[in-house]
Amino acid sequence: MGERKILVTRAWPKAAEERLVSEGLGTVTLRHPDTALSREEWMAAAESYDAILPTVSDRIPPEFYVAAKGKVRVMANYGVGFNHIDIGAARENGIAVTNTPDVLTDCTADLAMGLLLAAARRIGEGERETRAGGWEGWRPTHMIGKKVSGATLGIVGFGRIGQAMARRAHGGFGMRVVFQDAWDVPAEIRAANGQAEQLGSIAEVAAEADFLSLHCPGGAETFKLINADVFDALKPGAILVNTARGDVVDEDALFAALASGKLAAAGLDVYMGEPALDARFLGLENIVLAPHLGSATEATRAAMGHRAIDNLKAFLAGETPGDLVT
């Protein structure tokens, strides 16, 4: 048996790459220049690597898993979301999968709060007007937005990031927080996270919410969860924030709700076909569009790399990695 081969599918922060190489876990292939693996490269990787460290934007061909059986033993994902990995196929073909929770919770909630504020207070639109030289000066009716402080925030998905969002909204902005989640959240967790109130359904949350922020995982179970029915249930003039996954939102319904004014605005970090955008969004002023920046701070991106390495190391040492998904 030759030396173990490890592939990192996209370029990582330097410190994390250096650590991975210096750990001596095997021969490490780094992607410089940083390009996404093609289908052919994935299929070749299935036969060449013992461990792969993929990330959230990877498009893994469905045939990869069978081809990788008996060769690739672990996929230590760089990212908390793993809806780009076919977990069932990985399990069936003996490939362990890990992810990187916790380390990006605060930064993602910070960005969600930023998008909420930007959408509510029309910051993107105002910046465009100012840059274009179109600002005619202060006046009482200029670019009126929606008040955030004291409003009601609805949260879909009360995991780590949903809870962090609730703390920011309640503690920082005095917002009332209501949420929906499938698990029955204990009173002490609700109290510690924005005095949040759990409601029975997304429709009930929507009916109460001035702002709706999404923090559920992506994948088949949440595909187009936020659809025309949810937009109908929202209060007129509500605002949607999505830092979860693009496929959670029915983008046709979102466009219709924004164009009709049913939704006052949206702040999005993720998209159904990202990085491709629904071209109709570009023509709307009442939408703030960020390029999947939730975890994009130096400290967090390095921490994600270290967490993936910790998981890989544990797996290769025959231990159960801390963040084993399957």
Q: How far apart are the first and last CA of the chain?
A: 26
Position among 154, 162, 294, 305 found at the interface with ligand DGY (CB under 6 A)? 294
Quote the least distance from Cβ 241 to ligand DGY, whole Å.
14
Residue among 20, 60, 104, 155 that touches ligand DGY (CB under 6 A): 104
CB 271, CB 148: distance < 8 Å: no
| Annotated catalytic residue 73 | no
Q: What is the number of alpha carbons within 13 Å of residue 242 lying toward its C-beta?
A: 24
Active site residue 274: yes
**Any residues with CB less than 8 A from the CB of 200 and at least 6 apart, and which?**
180
**Minimum CB distance to ligand DGY smaller for 80 or for 253:** 80
CA nearest 169: which of 192, 144, 150, 190? 150
Binding footprint of ligand DGY, residue count (CB under 6 A): 7
Least Å distance between CB 304 and ligand DGY?
A: 7
Which tokens hold the place of 211?
A: 């702002």
Binding mask 55-94 for ligand DGY (x = CB under 6 A): -x----------------------xxx-------------
Is the Cβ of residue 80 or residue 239 nearer to ligand DGY in the bound state? Answer: 80
As measured in angstroms, the least distance from the Cβ of 318 to ligand DGY is: 27
Q: Which residue's CB is nearer to ligand DGY, number 54 or number 154? A: 54
Q: Which residues pair with 214 in a beta bridge?
A: 156, 242
**Is 245 a residue of the active site?**
yes
Q: How far is the CB of 94 from ligand DGY (least distance, A)?
A: 24
Q: Which of the residues 122, 176, 190, 245 is marked catalytic?
A: 245
| Smallest gap from residue 114 Cβ to ligand DGY (A) | 15
Catalytic residues: 245, 274, 292
Residues that bind ligand DGY (CB under 6 A): 56, 79-81, 104, 294-295
